[in-house]
């Protein structure tokens, strides 16, 4: 397992648009239809990563909480199924149904969307405001597998509160996410990861 930090895409960056298959209902879903009225949380994740598994219950609760505030959550998996078949669409669907996801779980087979977000690890969190401008990117909280810190989503929830109040947030309050590297197709590794 390669441990990787997120790249910290510049704040204010406009979200790349995308249309990807939703593994639960086999429908093509696009950002414009899925975005929230007051914000949109996009999470790059997968089924097998211990860092995702460690935070998963918290992520599910956050999505429910955020939805009540007008922030919609979208999960995307971009891992290559050549090397990690457990992250394929059928397995993603099983994960979503088993855990009763209230948010779409999309499959980025080409990995073009992961590259457009400069996603680097799972999980990687991107919180966009009502204009789809990046307000936060980085970690969910300080909790990691084995460090005994409770999962509470403090960093992400604090960022959402700043965003909803339209209060200025200092970039030094944002820390990179940490997790497994995205499993790129051979020959598809972004330059920053070479």
Beta pairing class for 71-77 and 134-138? unpaired
Listed by start position, the domains of the chain span 3-184
Cα-only R_g, the chain:
15
Per-residue pLDDT of the chain (194 residues; tens, 9 = 90+): 456 777 888 999 999 999 999 999 999 999 999 999 999 999 999 999 999 999 999 999 999 999 999 999 999 999 999 999 999 999 999 999 999 999 999 999 999 999 999 999 999 999 999 999 999 999 999 999 999 999 999 999 999 999 999 887 655 678 899 999 999 998 777 765 43
What global pTM score does this model have?
0.94
Q: Which residues pair with 129 in a beta bridge?
A: 39
Task: Determine the pLDDT at residue 52.
Answer: 97
Query: Cis omega (within 30 of 0) on the bond before 123?
Result: yes
Q: Which residues pair with 77 in a beta bridge?
A: 107
Task: Determine the pLDDT at residue 54.
Answer: 97
Task: Determine the pLDDT at residue 186.
Answer: 80
184 CB contacts (<8 Å, ≥6 apart)?
Answer: 80, 111, 190, 193
In 156-173, which positions are buried (b, 16+ CB within 10 angstroms) versus exposed (e)?
bbebbebbbeeeebeeee
Task: Determine the pLDDT at residue 184.
Answer: 93
Q: 3-184 falls under which CATH superfamily?
A: Glutaredoxin (3.40.30.10)
| Chain segment 5-22, per-residue pLDDT in tens | 778 889 999 999 999 999
| Chain segment 149-165, per-residue pLDDT in tens | 999 999 999 999 999 99
């Amino acid at each position: 397992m390669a441990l990787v930090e997120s790249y910290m895409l510049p704040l204010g960056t406009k979200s790349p648009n995308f249309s990807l298959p939703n593994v639960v209902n086999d429908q093509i879903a696009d950002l414009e239809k899925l975005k929230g009225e007051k914000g949109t949380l996009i999470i790059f994740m997968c089924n097998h990563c211990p860092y995702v598994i460690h935070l998963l219950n918290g992520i599910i609760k956050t999505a429910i909480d955020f939805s009540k505030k007008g922030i919609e959550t979208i999960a995307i998996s971009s891992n290559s199924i050549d090397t990690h078949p457990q992250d394929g669409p059928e397995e993603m669907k099983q994960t979503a149904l088993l855990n009763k996801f209230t948010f779409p779980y999309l499959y980025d087979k080409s990995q073009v969307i992961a590259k457009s977000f400069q996603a680097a690890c799972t999980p990687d969190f991107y919180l966009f405001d009502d204009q789809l401008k990046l307000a936060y990117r980085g970690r969910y909280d300080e909790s990691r597998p084995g460090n005994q810190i409770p999962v509470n989503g403090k960093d992400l929830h604090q960022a959402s509160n700043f965003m909803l109040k339209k209060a200025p947030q200092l970039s030094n309050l944002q820390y990179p996410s940490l997790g497994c590297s995205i499993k790129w197709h051979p020959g598809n590794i972004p330059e920053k990861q070479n």
